Amino acid sequence: MTRTPTILITGAGSGIGRATAQRFLSEGWRVGLIGRRRAALDETAASHADALVLPCDVTDAQAVDAAFDRAVTHWGRIDALFNNAGRNLAANTPDRIDPEDFRAVIEVNLVGMFLCARAAFARMRAQDPQGGRIINNGSISAHAPRPGTIAYTASKHAVTGLTRSLSLDGRPFGIACGQIDIGNAVTEMAARMARGVPQADGSIRPEAMMRVDTVAETVFRMACVPEGANMQFVTVMATNMPFVGRG
């Protein structure tokens, strides 16, 4: 009998996390929904029998371990993690960013991602059969910054280092790690892109956007790569966004 695959998704209460969770649920996966707001996670679950609601602050190491332990107790194993939770700040120059706000972005986007990857890695290493897949949500900002985004950009550059290290350290245990770099999906967090955002030339212009279910489909394809292969880095973006080019 074929075993039903399992995945944990952080930031599952809205946006990319919610869309991705619903995509996996529609394909018959068992999906663990991690996020700070139980009510939002319940909305994502939408009475799906295969959805497991796991309220958790990803910056709290003990809470993360408890959430992953609950998933293992419930399912017996974890096949995949979509490390998606993140936050941003309003655009500003470095001298006008509060150091505590900078730390808060790093705490969620990098430390929280490490804590979830750490928890997944430990359980994937210990389970039988050994192994699994970790997919980190990077960003177009992992390659090039927007004006006024020093905290977010620094965190996403660091995520790329995290992805590469996890990929290398996971090899002996059958743990693959890939990264999806997303540009301008229609979510509450990215809605301002369509209204107009600062460009490198100093202008403020609206940008092209893509459907969030395009991102969800890409994550699903990354998770379904056959064992022994990996999508190491994938970029999915609105075709006409101002990323490839100058200015």
Residues forming the active site: 152
- The two beta strands, 132-137 and 6-10, are unpaired
DSSP state at residue 142 = G
Residue ranges with strand state E in the chain = 6-10, 30-35, 51-55, 80-83, 132-137, 175-183, 197-198, 204-205, 233-237
- The two beta strands, 80-83 and 51-55, are unpaired
Omega within 30 of 0 (cis) for the link into 226 = no
In angstroms, the CA 10 to CA 17 distance is 7
